[in-house]
Structure 1
Amino acid sequence: MSRKSRAAYTRILPASLPPLDQIPLDIVIFILQHCSPFDLAQLSLATKSFRRILTGHPSLWKHAQLQTSRGTCPLLPECPPESFTHEAYAAFIFGGGHCSHCSKLTNHLPFLSLFRFRSCSQQCKSALMSEERMFTDWGDINQTAFWSPWLPHFHSQVLGKTYRVYDRQAIALAWRELQDATAFTAGLARPFPNEFPARSTDELGLIHAKREQALASLTLNAQLVTEWAEHYLVEKRRMRETNLAFIKLVANCDNVSVRQVLECSGFQRIFAAFNRDLEKLTFTVWMEHRYAVLTEINGIRFGRQKALVDQVECPHCQQSFGVEALSVHTVAKHSDVDPDLLPIRPPFMMGKKHCRDCPKSDRVYTGQGLRAHQRAKHP
């Protein structure tokens, strides 16, 4: 590439961002103040520089919380610091995860955040709330159990009486944790070394005390998140319809369909992210990604066309051939036919032509190559 061409090529390239430490800190802070909680959680995983900034400016999380209020949706309840870091809280609420019943990946919100339950379907949700998974302490006979003061639970009313309801798997996990600590304290082989860190029963007792102190704020937060999620999902559906209408508008301008735009994997993620953050898609966003979307749509179109025309009928003898073989067949068997006029040609022949003075040759040339060939072979 010549120096002039390289300079012209460089001018049309988008300018790359300078390293983070070369951007003034106040500008970085200003940008981060307009991020959603999940944006900050993702950035904290990107580089140590972002983690240092987020640690040194905890007010950024407050600004991020303000971004969660749109329309009828109130602010996301504040993170309970005894139970979550800000990063973990944002990822837990917005980042999706495995279904608590079948382990299938899902982007649904947790439906029972007190137990950290997330379901991929109504069927899995019903299974998680069934008696097989839920343990109701009828008669309060387990109030003296070692796990009772600190294990998360909710209350259920039956015939006017209130009972505590626990997760059976959480109870089983608490017992295994105690058995592992007891064995470690006694100097015996630990039964669950891959499940828990090595700790004595005294150390475990201190952890139980911390869990008991955090239980009240965790329970309150779970209740608030459940109430918030109802409003959030309503606003998210509304924002999705708004963004679909916008995509339809811009897609019509480029003679493509909404379905084709949303088939593009990159734009699927953009669409999902804007809906998640209750943000409207804008023309600026569309123009930034338009070229990539249209390029991918053309690739998908070609892939479908190739699948449909894998076998093509020769228009002159009705035999069927692959797309590439049809051109070779035409040159070999129909020398009076111009192979460049075939309705379907393989992609490597696009923009190229056969030499009509070489009727038995299936070689193709670019315009410049054909002129050079004719000067050399057919003066």
Structure 2
Amino acid sequence: MNGGQDERKLSIKLFNVNLSCTNAANLPDAVWLEIILKSNPLELLTFQKLSKRFRIILRDNPHCWVTARHNMHPPVPPPPQVNAAGVWTEAAYAQFIFGGGECAAKSCKRWTQRFPRSFALRIRVCSTKCEAIIHRHYDKSDRKINNSYLTSCAIPGKRGLRQMGQTQRLHFRNWLVYDERDMTSKHTYILLSVSSLIGGSEYPMYRVCAVSTADQEWFSARAITENRKARPPVAVIRTVPQLQNQYKLRAEALPHIMENAKALQQWAADHEEARTAMTLTNVAFMKEVVSPREQIPYRKLLKTPIVIKTLESFGRTLSKFDIRTWCAMRATAIREYRDPR
């Protein structure tokens, strides 16, 4: 215990930093609210998990999530306005983007903090290997895909659906979300005048499990309406009129969802550029400030688990290293450098 305190005092003395401790539990809610208003969405998700007190503060001040979106650089696009059933709150939106999720590859299922590869289909992958699994059998020249994850062949024309015995899928095109990356859409053009064209897209890429869920939803609604005993399992029980009303609301929401997904794709690309630049800035801090004072090669420090984890976390939130950051992890980083395992 004394050794740890001495090491902490040494780190403070070494960098001429005056740190004063306070009891966080004694801070009033108004102070915590000011801190929360300076935070980003990822930090708000952490606050939400810490205690009931923070959850109450966030519940009573929902504008904190909007402010957190604007605290990111670049700012996160706003969530789509959707009247259909589902959870589309600011908190759920932040959880979807920054909260991580399971890798979509069935052979993996590992948890990943990466952003979704497709925001509309809500597909995450943890590695390039899993991404190759998700996109296998993709014909780039013919712009088609059909595997157990993604398909552009599930909703063909009327004749094809009649042959498959699944004419209930005809209206799926009106409301079922598709991949915003435009990997399979075949564009057709109608000539209106010499210089005016209208473009339309055919055969978008859907998630196979979403098509299957939509099928089950329809057959379940028919079974309930017709008072059948056998009903496919569904999350929400609806009759055919109720489901058709949801179809209408989903069709109204689809343009907003797709517009938001495309905006998030652009934001993710801009965020990746900013993250790379911030990581290089933090590495430069380790090289130019920490390494000379500690007399340790900066490359060795960058290989310690605590520094790797901190670099990743600070890169994700676009936060810059400073003396306080290093003092907080110095004891652990030096121990891991001296005793690598």
TM-score when normalising by structure 1: 0.65
Q: Is 1:286 aligned to 2:315, yes or no?
A: no
Is the 2:65–2:91 Cα contact (8 Å) retained in structure 1?
no
Partners in 1 of 2:219 and 2:158 — Cα distance?
A: 24
Partners in 2 of 1:204 and 1:299 — Cα distance?
A: 62
Deviations 1:327-367, CA, capped at 9 Å, x for gaps: xxxxxxxxxxxxxxxxxxxxxxxxxxxxxxxxxxxxxxxxx
Deviations 1:156-202, CA, capped at 9 Å, x for gaps: 2346462141413321121123334444553524432xx62444444
Identity value in percent:
26
Partner in structure 1 of residue 174 of structure 2: 149
Distance 1:189 1:269, change over 3 A: farther
Deviates more, 1:236-245 or 1:199-208: 199-208
Partner in structure 1 of residue 142 of structure 2: none
TM-score when normalising by structure 2: 0.71
Cα distance, 1:43 vs. partner? 1.7
Is the 1:94–1:276 Cα contact (8 Å) retained in structure 2?
no
Partner in structure 2 of residue 78 of structure 1: 78
Cα distance, 1:122 vs. partner? 4.1
Distance 1:140 1:236, change over 3 A: farther
Distance 1:210 1:263, change over 3 A: farther
Out of 107, 119, 124, the position equivalent to 2:125 is 119
3-state SS in 2 of match to 1:162: strand
Out of 23, 30, 51, the position equivalent to 2:27 is 23
Partner in structure 1 of residue 316 of structure 2: 276
Out of 66, 77, 80, the position equivalent to 2:70 is 66
Is the 2:169–2:215 Cα contact (8 Å) retained in structure 1?
no
Out of 35, 39, 62, the position equivalent to 1:35 is 39
Partners in 2 of 1:23 and 1:111 — Cα distance?
A: 40
Is the 1:34–1:64 Cα contact (8 Å) retained in structure 2?
yes
Cα distance, 1:277 vs. partner? 1.1
Is the 2:158–2:170 Cα contact (8 Å) retained in structure 1?
no
Partner in structure 2 of residue 376 of structure 1: none
Is the 1:140–1:163 Cα contact (8 Å) retained in structure 2?
no
Partners in 1 of 2:279 and 2:229 — Cα distance?
A: 57
Deviations 1:205-246, CA, capped at 9 Å, x for gaps: 444343333222111101111111221111111111111121
Deviations 1:235-287, CA, capped at 9 Å, x for gaps: 11111111112123313422334454344444433221110011111111111
Cα distance, 1:152 vs. partner? 0.8
State the AA in 2 paired with 1:34.
K
Is the 2:116–2:122 Cα contact (8 Å) retained in structure 1?
yes
Partners in 1 of 2:31 and 2:222 — Cα distance?
A: 53
Partners in 2 of 1:120 and 1:188 — Cα distance?
A: 42
1:283-322 equivalences in 2 (<5 Å): 283-300=323-340
The gaps in structure 2 that reach 5 residues or longer are 10-18, 139-144, 162-167, 190-199
Distance 1:182 1:89, change over 3 A: same
Partner in structure 1 of residue 192 of structure 2: none
Is the 1:134–1:166 Cα contact (8 Å) retained in structure 2?
yes
Cα distance, 1:35 vs. partner? 0.8
Partner in structure 2 of residue 188 of structure 1: 229
Partners in 1 of 2:201 and 2:125 — Cα distance?
A: 26
Partners in 2 of 1:50 and 1:93 — Cα distance?
A: 20
State the AA in 1 paired with 2:152.
F
3-state SS in 1 of match to 2:42: helix
Q: Which of these two proteins has the greater Rg computed from alpha carbons?
A: 1
Partners in 2 of 1:135 and 1:150 — Cα distance?
A: 15
Deviates more, 1:37-46 or 1:260-269: 260-269
Distance 1:127 1:291, change over 3 A: closer
Partner in structure 1 of residue 212 of structure 2: 172
The gaps in structure 1 that reach 5 residues or longer are 304-379
Partner in structure 2 of residue 369 of structure 1: none
4+ runs deviating over 6 angstroms: 140-144
Partners in 2 of 1:174 and 1:138 — Cα distance?
A: 16
Partner in structure 2 of residue 221 of structure 1: 260
Cα distance, 1:14 vs. partner? 7.4
Cα distance, 1:31 vs. partner? 0.4
Partner in structure 2 of residue 243 of structure 1: 282
Cα distance, 1:112 vs. partner? 1.7
Is the 2:187–2:201 Cα contact (8 Å) retained in structure 1?
yes
State the AA in 1 paired with 2:119.
S
Partner in structure 2 of residue 108 of structure 1: 114
Cα distance, 1:36 vs. partner? 0.8
> Whose RCO is larger (CA < 8 A, sep 6+)?
2
Cα distance, 1:92 vs. partner? 2.3
Q: Is 1:94 aligned to 2:98, yes or no?
A: yes
Is the 1:138–1:163 Cα contact (8 Å) retained in structure 2?
no
Partners in 2 of 1:122 and 1:207 — Cα distance?
A: 37
